[in-house]
Chain A
Amino acid sequence: MNSTNRPLSPHLQVYRLPLTGLISITHRMTGVMLSLGLILFLCMLYAIAGGAEAFAAMQAMTDSILLQIVLWGFMYALFFHLCHGVRHLIWDAGCSFDNETLNRYALIELFVSLVLTAATFAFFIL
């Protein structure tokens, strides 16, 4: 039996993931990160419930550079996960499986998630 010429599955260490593959794993990673972010959301709710002083202390913390980075990282992850999630729903409807549409949608969702994050940033500042 010739065992040297068989097709191999793509090995993660030598296989360069295409854009669609990178987006797919990013969807999973943002999902896990957003889930962990729920713990921070819970802390925030209890700071609001804790009264004016706890609220002021919480805002002093969220004004820090570190938590601003966390907040906007969370926001981008949220919109990315939302955009790719909408695409999963489109797939579930049985649409858009050809290569050209896959790559075009990948670029569209990257663009739209950035636009939504920028729009939310503007909304926060205004």
Chain B
Amino acid sequence: MDYRSPISKARGLGSAKSGTEHWWMQRVTAAALIPLSFWLVMLLKLATTATYQETITWLASPFNAVVIALWILAVCFHAALGVQVVIEDYVSAEGAKIIAVWTCHLLFTAIAVAALFAVLQISLAG
């Protein structure tokens, strides 16, 4: 006897209630980060070798600010998913694992929000 409803069979997600989202988003953010990384390299070059005014001017351009913001979102999501897997692989105690995964996700969310705020501040002031 099969207790599953037709919709749950079609979704095929079982009792875990989720499927390939983690794996899939890791790939989607990875693909996005390939071109976006060149804006990171550009920003690092300016911040370490150029003048204050040159750096501010570059980051105040809406296009550069938006692309850096996209990089921040993609990289923080990608890092959170990746570090989550590392935690799940090496932390075997269930309670510690759950707390560590939560902490990891909250930390990368905080980094993303703080970084976006700084970009906004620079961009609007510059």
A82 and B52 within 8 A (CB): no
Is the Cβ of A45 less than 8 Å from the Cβ of B122?
A: yes
How far does the alpha carbon of A99 sit from the alpha carbon of B76 in the complex, in Å?
A: 34
Q: Are A45's CB and B52's CB within 8 A?
A: no
Task: Check A55 against B27 for contact (C-beta < 8 Å).
Answer: no
Of residues 58 through 84 on chain B, the ones whose CB sits less than 8 Å from some CB of chain A are: 59, 75-76, 79, 82-83
Q: A105-126 toward B: CB 8 Å interface, digit per residue (1/0)?
A: 0000000000000001001100
**Alpha-carbon gap, A28 to B55, bound state (A):** 32
CB within 8 Å of A: which B19-57 residues = 27, 30-31, 33-34, 37, 40-41, 44-45, 47-49, 52, 55-56
A38, A48, A58, A82: residue with the most chain B Cβ atoms closer than 10 Å: A48
Q: Which residue of B lies closest to A28 (CB)?
A: B86
Q: Is B100 an interface residue (CB 8 A)?
A: no
Is B118 an interface residue, CB under 8 A from the partner? yes
In the assembled complex, how far is the CB of residue A25 from the closest CB belonging to chain B, in whole angstroms?
11
Partner of B37, one of A31, A45, A78: A78
Residues of A within 8 A of B30 (CB): 85, 88-89
A82 surroundings in chain B (CB, below 8 A):
33-34, 37
Main secondary structure of the interface of A (DSSP, over half): helix
A32 at interface (Cβ–Cβ under 8 A)? Answer: yes
- In the bound complex, residues from chain A placing their C-beta under 8 Å from that of B37 are 78, 82
B-side interface mostly: helix
- Asked if A49 and B121 sit within 8 Å, CB to CB, the answer is yes
Give the contacting residue for B115; candidates A45, A56, A71; CB below 8 A. A45
Per-position binary interface string of chain B over residues 101-119, scored 1 when its CB falls under 8 Å from any chain A CB and 0 otherwise? 0000000100100110011
Interface size counted on chain A using CB atoms at 8 A = 34
The residue that A42 contacts in the complex, of B45, B55, B114, with Cβ under 8 A, is B114
Distance (whole angstroms) from the CB of B81 to the closest CB of chain A:
10
Chain B residues whose C-beta falls within 8 Å of the C-beta of A86 in the assembled complex: 34
Interface residues of A (CB under 8 A from B): 28, 31-32, 34-35, 38-39, 41-42, 44-49, 52, 55-56, 58-59, 62-63, 71, 75, 78, 82, 85-86, 88-89, 92, 120, 123-124
The 4 closest A-B pairs by CB, nearest first: A45-B118, A35-B79, A55-B52, A49-B118
